[in-house]
Amino acid sequence: MSLRNIAIIAHVDHGKTTLVDRLLQQSGAFRENQRVAERVMDSNDLERERGITILAKCTSVEWHGTRVNIVDTPGHADFGGEVERILNMVDGAIVLVDAAEGPMPQTKFVVGKALKLGLKPIVLVNKVDRPDARITEVVNEVFDLFAALDANDDQLDFPILYGSAKEGWIAKAPEGPKDQGMAPLFDLVLEHVAAPDVDEGPFRLLGTIIEANPYLGRIITGRIRSGTIKPNQPIKVLSRDGMVVEQGRITKILAFRGIERTAIDEASAGDIISIAGMTKGTVADTFCAMEVDEPLKAQPIDPPTVSMTFMVNNSPLAGTEGDKVTSRVIRDRLFKEAEGNVALRVAESTEKDSFEVSGRGELMLAILIETMRREGFELAVSRPQVVYRKDSSGSVLEPVEEVVIDVDEDHAGVVVEKLSARKAEMVEMRPSGGGRLRLVFHAPTRGLIGYQGELLTDTRGTAIMNRLFHAYAPFKGEMVGRRNGVLIANEPGEAVAYALWNLEDRGPMMIEPGWKVYEGMIVGEHTRDNDLEVNVIKGKKLTNIRTTSKDEAVRLTPPLRMTLEKALAYIDVDELVEVTPKSIRLRKTILDPNDRKKSERARKDVTPTA
């Protein structure tokens, strides 16, 4: 059977996963009476809740006697490590673009990598049914983007399709016809995308996706570059520099058939498969026949830009809500995650019972923390810090990101003002239609930590921000951090409504009556710039004096709700977020007030080091 391997690449929320749903439906991958969840490829609970794709996934459909392997890739820059590897497996790419928003930073990031690999793109303008669609301008923007990314003449001569994945139709013109479903896209893939280019020689496969299976052990997914493979065949694993990592036998070969993965007896060059049986081979390693000595060339991966310290939860409430609390269990979980996620780095920290975890952005690390707390882990995490470097002359370099903000003209001033205070430089400002402006900045990563919430507040929730790693640049100097101090509990116990009511003029609270607190826990935000210790467990003194007027019922202002991302962005360098399966609490790193004061006196301004 002839083969085609394609990836669907686009910016977050432009409709990739919905498109895959429609392709599967039309190709007959589902029975007519089969109940299928919406966005079937987003298998992970977090992906469904947030509406984003975190892990790259493969599927395959048959169309007119040709097997089409389709890869659904993440659209968020923090998960870009997945995208880079996937592109090595495919021969073509469907570039999906929103008919209103046009090409966005993540589109630029992935398309740039796809064009460098020589993939010939198909452009699909999705959501043409949107009332604010600007189809002609978007097509022109896509062409300009390809030209700016040094696309060759073949790549610039890309075919264009229009449609609405949600409504289930694609056509060669924006107005239709709308009765052919996904057929025009399937036909164009067979015509425009070349069959896999296979090499002569024995079996070779480059590891692209890694996962752990409780029954089969380590499963490696990749595309066979040459030769054939059968179960029980002996193979070896070569690292990127040609060293032998391990030798063993293939226990199982799995192929994608619709949304299922089924065992097969033989696979040949060009197909995308998963193999089980090896225990040490990982992503970017070459899995090959015993006679092969030369590894396949693997794509280098962009470096992590943000790091956090994960540590054992040592608060007075430790162990009351989670069952995985020891450093050994946390360590094993983090190193297991790093095995399957090449954009993640985990290292033992110099401090006791803590680990340094580096990734592509705070969202990526927040997803890891959220996954761990759902598995029953308890841990404490520090504020995200950027990963600095040094150049040849010894100067400190910091990561800078390209930030694209779509905002109403009325709010543009406050956005420019706030980002300037965070050491960002504006590189472009242009109208994007409908009374909105598109602002492009180059901003240091550390200045963007915690800015998303502030941006939504400043713009009444109307701004859209997209970020992308740009480059390392000279350190831009100190910048103002959080302007307000915090309210800190000075005694352990349960919070009392009367005490919280009396403290409301000190600042907004983060806890509710009945919540357990401990000394050193952050219970609210101070209206001034200094920290203040307060008593939230002090009840009303009862007397035997009777009055005719009844006591007023205590009415409290609703507290500040701290989600995980908000909490990570909010805390300062001397604070931690305590994460358990049931709660997210903020606390000072040093709980004892006397020790805290000594530490503050000893702390001096430290210049960042690489």
Q: Tell me, what DSSP letter sits at residue 394?
A: S
Q: Is 481 helix (H, G, I), strand (E, B) or coil?
A: coil
pLDDT at 328 over 50: yes
Closest residue by Cα to residue 23 from 72, 88, 89: 72
pLDDT tens digits for range 532-590: 999 999 887 776 666 554 555 678 888 888 888 888 888 888 899 999 999 999 999 99
Tell whether 16 is in a known binding site: yes
Distance from C-alpha of 360 to C-alpha of 347, rounded to nearest angstrom: 16
What would the two tokens of residue 85 be?
């590897």
127 is an annotated ligand-binding site residue: yes
13 is in an annotated binding site: yes
Residue 241 CB partners (closer than 8 Å, separation 6+): 295
The residue whose two tokens read 């052919």 is 180
Read off the pLDDT of each residue in 65-75 and give the average, rounded to a whole number. Answer: 76
pLDDT at 33 over 80: no
459 is in an annotated binding site: no
The tokens for 258 are 């619709």
Domains recognised in the chain with CATH numbers: 2-192 (3.40.50.300), 204-289 (2.40.30.10), 390-474 (3.30.70.240), 486-602 (2.40.50.250)
d(CA 255, CA 529): 59
Write down the mean pLDDT value for the chain.
Answer: 81
Q: Is 462 annotated as a binding residue?
A: no
Distance, first Cα to last Cα, the chain: 53
Quick one: pLDDT at residue 609? Answer: 53
Q: Write down how long the chain is.
A: 610
pLDDT in tens, 194-207: 888 888 889 999 88
Cβ atoms of 465 and 455 closer than 8 Å: yes
* R_g of the chain, CA atoms, integer Å: 27
pLDDT at residue 52 tops 70: no
In angstroms, the CA 160 to CA 138 distance is 11
152 annotated binding-site participant: no
- Which candidate, 371, 340, 374, 368, places its Cα nearest to that of 355? 368
Determine the Cα angle at 384 with ends 378 and 389, to 5°. Answer: 135
User: Does residue 513 have a cis bond before it (omega within 30 degrees)?
Assistant: no
128 labelled as ligand-binding?
yes
pLDDT on residue 41: 39
Which residues are bridge partners to 219 per DSSP?
211, 276
Query: What's the per-residue H, E or C state across 131-188?
Result: CCCCHHHHHHHHHHHHHHCCCCHHHHCCCEEEEECCCCEEECCCCCCCCCCCHHHHHH
Mark residue 176 as left, alpha or beta (left: phi above 0; alpha: psi -120 to 50; beta: remaining): left
| Digit-coded pLDDT (tens) for 221-260 | 888 888 898 999 999 988 888 888 888 898 989 887 776 7
d(Cα 404, Cα 416) in Å, to the nearest integer? 12
Q: What are phi and psi of 570, to 5 degrees?
A: -80, -40
Which pLDDT does position 588 carry in this prediction? Answer: 92
DSSP state at residue 550 = P
15 appears as a binding residue in the annotation: yes
Under 8 Å between Cβ of 211 and 255: no
pLDDT of residue 455: 84
- The residues pairing with 5 across neighbouring beta strands, listed in sequence order, are 69
Read off the pLDDT of residues 271-283 as tens digits, 9 standing for 90 and up: 888 898 888 887 7
What is the average pLDDT across 146-174?
86
Is 192 marked as a binding-site residue?
Answer: no
Residues 6+ apart with CB under 8 A from 348: 331, 355, 356
Place of tokens 């469907």: 94
pLDDT in tens, 462-493: 787 877 778 888 988 887 767 788 999 999 99
Strand partners, 382: 576
Residue 124 sits at the vertex; the CA angle it makes with 118 and 130, to the nearest 5 degrees, is: 150
Q: Is 126 annotated as a binding residue?
A: yes
Partners of 249 in the β-ladder: 234
Backbone φ, ψ for residue 306 (5° rounding): -130, 140
